[in-house]
Amino acid sequence: MKIEAIRALRQKLKAGATTYGLWVTLESASITEMAVAAGLDFVVIDAEHGHLDWQDIVQHLRAMVRSNCVALVRVTELNGGLIKRALDIGADGVVIPWVETAEQLQQAISWSRYPPEGLRGIGAERATHWGQTLVEHTRDANDHVLVVPIIETVRTQQQIQQLAEVDGSELFWFGPADYSSTAGYRGQWEGPGCAEQILQMQETLTKAGKYCGLLATSNDDLLKRREQGFRLIGLGSDAGLLIRSLRGALGVVDRDRPWKS
């Protein structure tokens, strides 16, 4: 856990700044090294979708050691073992998909904190420098670990006020595509009415002192999201940004074409 990086992120958010990050889905840790070198505020290592295994995740985390870039791991589901493992190998926080209720969020927070505040087991792993900083880490970790729920179902809209009132989670992420799918618009990034509903939920969370984020779909969308008040903006995923750049270059020479499923 990089406490100074977490403090820097929190200070930027508190000062009203927008923070920027990258969503990592590919295996090469060089991608994360580039994100650090570019001065990004955070990287989300996506272990929910795609094929990253724990060895890949560790390599991405190593690429951020001693940097001022916050390292978040998106686990596959709300699961105490996955949360514990991600934090034990050095993540600064966890991103939890498909959070719909305050009870689920409270459970995730509990699994991310050591007793007596939580249920996280203590291990002599990378987070504690293999037991050499056990006292210091277990003393400080509960105050700094980040637990980031993803709001991605229409059911959550009815629960958003209760989620906003949960202590211990200051950052919220939106997943427009899954949200649209649960609203009946599968395959659309923001189906009819979904964009407005997401902004309404964002307003509720912001009034409660929370900070909201999502992925931008283009450079124009990046500016729009910043104007809308999103304070954590993913510039894109590594694969998505590469494809966007490839298609842009191919378009210049009239070689861009639709992809086949």
- Residue found by looking up tokens 């009415």 in the block: 193
The residues, ordered by sequence, that sit 6+ positions from 104 with a Cβ below 8 Å of its Cβ are: 78, 96, 149
Q: What's residue 50's pLDDT?
A: 80
Q: Is the pLDDT of residue 234 over 90?
A: yes
Q: What's residue 32's pLDDT?
A: 98
pLDDT in tens, 158-204: 999 999 999 999 999 999 999 999 999 999 999 999 999 999 999 99
pLDDT in tens, 96-129: 999 999 999 999 999 999 999 999 999 889 999 9
Measured in degrees and rounded to the nearest 5, phi and psi for residue 155 equal -60, -30
C-alpha Rg value of the chain to the nearest Å:
18
Tell me how far apart the alpha carbons of residues 128 and 98 are, in angstroms, rounded to a whole number: 29
DSSP states of 87-127: HHTT-SEEEESS--SHHHHHHHHHHTS-TTTS-PPP-SSGG
- Domain annotation for the chain: domains and CATH numbers: 3-252 (3.20.20.60)
SS3 234: strand
